[in-house]
Amino acid sequence: MKLQSVLLGTGSYLPERSVSNHELSKSLDTNHDWIVERTGIHSRHVAADDEYTSDLAVKAATRALEAANLKPSDIDMIILATSTPDNTFPATATRIQSKLGITTGFAFDIAAVCSGFVFALATADNYLKQGMAKNALVIGAETMTRILDWEDRTTAVLFGDGAGAVVLQAQGNTDKGILGNTLRTDGAGYDQLYVDGGASSTQSTGVIKMNGREVFKHAVTRLGEAVNDILEICNVEQSDIDWLVPHQANKRIIDATAKKLNLPDERVIHTGHSQANTSAASIPLALDYGIREGKIKPGQLVLCEAFAGGYAWGANIIRI
């Protein structure tokens, strides 16, 4: 029987503390108007000192499980997309597994930075279709503010913390679920957006460095290609897409992709204004927002896309 990875529920969590552009401009040579005009960001959430990526993930996952009407013990696979793990190893996904009280199945992390959730969804989809698992938790969770140089105005204003999660179930005889995925990387972009530390190179965590203009150009071009690819892979017309649920790096990049799809702004989920770029967490945060707000409805077609350091980019189409 042909299996589909069906979305049973979504959940998300944002740390309590919200930091506005105005607050940031007290300690940084920047201003609200510049940040809004260039990015669309008004504020971002920042995790408390004792809040780790796994803590954010567990809260989002618990909400997703409730929405899916499943118990933690029903889950037999956890995939966490993150670039800010609790520790270099083991995989933070195993800590999430333990915090949720799950003692069976398997859990692992995926690193594709801001495209992490798109990669994680595609990975989960293939595992579920192969029958390697029945119920999957796919999570994007980040504490990006821990790897910011708070004196670098070109990056410090762009990122935030948060987590989003989805529960997927392998089901037969359904037209719902993930219709297809496209993933790409090009390591030629490695030095354009990176963290200048790591276990192997500096034995430290490092901070984000970015050539913003170069990344912007590549993001717009590559996302345009990804959109064409995913429509072809899924045999879907532009006009069939009900919602664009994009990675929330920059409103101008999102607008360019929406234009490519001929989608009016009312059909695009925007959360970046109050969350900034939460890297791998931004798509599941936006998806959960869209569903809980009653915008995204059962039966509708959703296109998710992201561009990231690496470069790594991709897209998925899901029938809700």
- Give the catalytic positions in this structure: 114, 247, 277
Task: Burial-class residue 319 by CB neighbours within 10 Å (0-12, 13-18, 19+).
Answer: buried
Distance, in Å, from the CA atom of 182 to the CA atom of 194, rounded to the nearest integer, reads 23
Amino acid occupying residue 92: T
Token match 């354009």: residue?
A: 192
> What would the two tokens of residue 274 be?
């109050």
Q: Which residue is nearest to ligand COA (CB)?
A: 212
Stretch that binds ligand COA, among 29-37, 91-99, 160-168, 177-185 (CB under 6 A): 29-37
Distance, in Å, from the CA atom of 90 to the CA atom of 102, rounded to the nearest integer, reads 16
Stretch that binds ligand COA, among 31-39, 116-124, 137-145, 297-305 (CB under 6 A): 31-39
State yes or no: residue 215 binds ligand COA (CB under 6 A). Answer: yes
Token match 């999660």: residue?
A: 165
**Binding string, residues 40-79; x marks residues near ligand COA by CB under 6 A:** ----------------------------------------
Nearest to 129 by CA among 227, 1, 216: 1
Tell which one of 308, 315, 318, 320 touches ligand COA (CB under 6 A). Answer: 308
* Cross-strand bridge partners of residue 166: 10, 138
Least gap, CB of 261 to ligand COA (angstroms): 18
DSSP 8-state symbol, 293: T
- Indicate the SS3 state at residue 214: helix
State yes or no: residue 30 binds ligand COA (CB under 6 A). Answer: yes
Phi and psi torsions of 27, nearest 5°: -115, 0
Q: Which is nearer to ligand COA, 167 or 207 (CB)?
A: 207
Stretch that binds ligand COA, among 8-16, 80-88, 215-223, 225-233 (CB under 6 A): 215-223
Least gap, CB of 113 to ligand COA (angstroms): 6
Let me know the angle formed at the C-alpha of 163 by 226 and 178, rounded to the nearest 5 degrees: 40
Distance, in Å, from the CA atom of 25 to the CA atom of 29, rounded to the nearest integer, reads 6
Least gap, CB of 225 to ligand COA (angstroms): 16
Distance, in Å, from the CA atom of 221 to the CA atom of 313, rounded to the nearest integer, reads 11
Stretch that binds ligand COA, among 2-10, 58-66, 142-150, 211-219 (CB under 6 A): 211-219
**Binding string, residues 143-182; x marks residues near ligand COA by CB under 6 A:** ----------xx--x-------------------------
297 Cβ contact partners less than 8 Å away, ≥ 6 residues apart: 320
State yes or no: residue 212 binds ligand COA (CB under 6 A). Answer: yes
Q: Which is nearer to ligand COA, 73 or 154 (CB)?
A: 154
Assess contact for 109 and 82: CB atoms under 8 A.
yes
State yes or no: residue 39 binds ligand COA (CB under 6 A). Answer: yes
Q: Which residues bind ligand COA (CB under 6 A)?
A: 30, 34-35, 38-39, 114, 153-154, 157, 212-213, 215-216, 219, 249-250, 253, 277, 307-308
